[in-house]
Structure 1
Amino acid sequence: MSMIARDLDGWTIAFDLDGTLVDSAPDLIGTLNRMLAPRGHPPVPLSSARHLVGHGARALLRHGFAEAGAVWDEAAEPELFDRFIDDYVAHIADDSRPFEGVVETLDHLAARGAVLCVATNKRTDLAEALIGALGLMRHFAVVAGPDRVSARKPDGAHVREAVRLAGGDPLRAVMVGDATTDTGSARAAGVPCVVAGFGYNDAPLAELGGDIVIDCFADLVAAVETLHRAAMQTADVAAI
C-alpha cells in the first residue's frame, strides 16, 4: 500500500460548522418552532429558514420570530433565549447529520498533514456538544466559538485566532464555509476561502466572495490542493 504524502504539513484548515460540516438546520428550526408554537404562530418551514442559520442563536431567534410574523423583545423576555438553548441542547442531534463525505474527507486531509479546526459563530459549548454527539471531535485540534476568540465572524480575528489556537499559522491556512460571515472573515484575515455551495448560503454563490465553490464535500480535497499549489507558487516567486 502506498503511503499518503504529507504535503499539507504546516497547513491549517478552519471549518464553519452549521451548513458546512453539519446539516443542523432541522434541529435548530425544530427548536425555533417549539418556541413559536405556544404563542400561536405557525411553524417556520425548513426551506425558508436555512438562511437564518449560522449567525448565532440570538440572531436565529430574532430573525426566526420576524419570519413568523412575531417579535421577540429580548429586554422584556430574556428567559426565552435560555429556554431556546435548553431545548436545543436536548435535541441537538435528533436530525442533524454530517454532510455526505465529511468523515472520509477530514481523515484524508489529516493523513496529508493538515491540522483541522472549527471557527463557528455557534457558542463553543454548543458546537462541541453537536460535534461530540456526531462523533466528529477526534478530527479537530480546537473548536472556537465566538466566546473563545476576540471577535466573531465576519471579523478576521475569528479565523486568525482559531488557526493560532490550533497551533497553526494564518499565512498557511484555508477557511471552509457557506455564508458571508465565513467569506468575510477569511477575506479580512487574508485567508483563502472555499465555499460549500450545498450549505446555507445567505447570498448567491457568485456574490459570496469565496475563492472556490464546491458542490459536495468530497470536492474539498481538490479545492485545497488548488489553493495550496497557488500559495506555494506565490511563495516561490517571492523567494526569487
Structure 2
Amino acid sequence: MPKSLKAVLFDLDGTLVDSAPDLHVAANLLMVENDRRELSLPEIIKMIGDGVPKLVERSFAATGDVPDTDTLAAASKRYLEFYEPHAADLSTPFPGAIACLERLKSAGYPLAVCTNKPYDAT
C-alpha cells in the first residue's frame, strides 16, 4: 500500500458492518405500533441512507401516507427507542472487514470510522 496515505477512514454501516437487520427490526416495531404493515428486509435496505428521520419517513411512505412533520419527529424519536438498545443484536461485520482493518493497522496506518449513527447506538 502506498505510504503516502496519512490515514484510512471508513464508513461504519454498509461498509464495515451489515446493520440492516437491526434497522429492519426497529422499523417494523415502529410500523406495527402505528398500525402499518411490516416491511421486508430488501425494502428497508433500499431506504437506508441519510439518517434516521429519512428512514422513518420512507418507511411511512412505503406503508401509507406520510405523517406531518411533528408526527415524523416523534416517530423518529420512538424509532431510536426501539433501535438504540438493540443496535448490535443482529449486525455483523462484512466478510473481510476485520482482516482488512487488521492488515491496515499492522501496516502502520491510522484508522478511523465515520458514521451518522446516533452516538448511543454506536
Verify same fold: TM over 0.5: yes
- Residue number in structure 2 paired with 1:66: 61
2:8 is aligned with 1:13: yes
- Residue number in structure 2 paired with 1:56: 51
Distance 2:65 2:86 in 1: 23
Distance 1:70 1:32, change over 3 A: farther
Distance 1:33 1:98 in 2: 22
Cα shift at 1:20: 0.6
CA contact (8 A) 2:27 2:56 kept: yes
Cα shift at 1:107: 0.7
- Residue number in structure 1 paired with 2:99: 104
Equivalent residue letter for 2:92: R
Spell out structure 1 runs of 4+ moving beyond 4 A: none
Mark the structure with the bigger radius of gyration. 1
Show structure 1 runs of 5+ residues with no match.
1-5, 131-240
Task: Compare relative contact order (CA 8 Å, sep 6+) and give the higher one, 1 or 2.
Answer: 2
Residues 1-240 of structure 1 aligned to structure 2 (within 5 Å): 8=3, 10-76=5-71, 78-123=73-118, 125-126=119-120, 129-130=121-122
User: How many corresponding residue pairs?
Assistant: 122
Cα shift at 1:57: 0.6
Percent identity for Structure 1 against Structure 2: 34
User: Pairwise CA RMSD of aligned residues?
Assistant: 2.0
Equivalent residue letter for 1:96: S
Cα shift at 1:73: 2.2
TM-score normalized by structure 2?
Answer: 0.86
Equivalent residue letter for 2:57: R
- 1:158-200: CA deviation from partner (whole Å, max 9, x where unpaired): xxxxxxxxxxxxxxxxxxxxxxxxxxxxxxxxxxxxxxxxxxx
CA contact (8 A) 1:9 1:112 kept: no
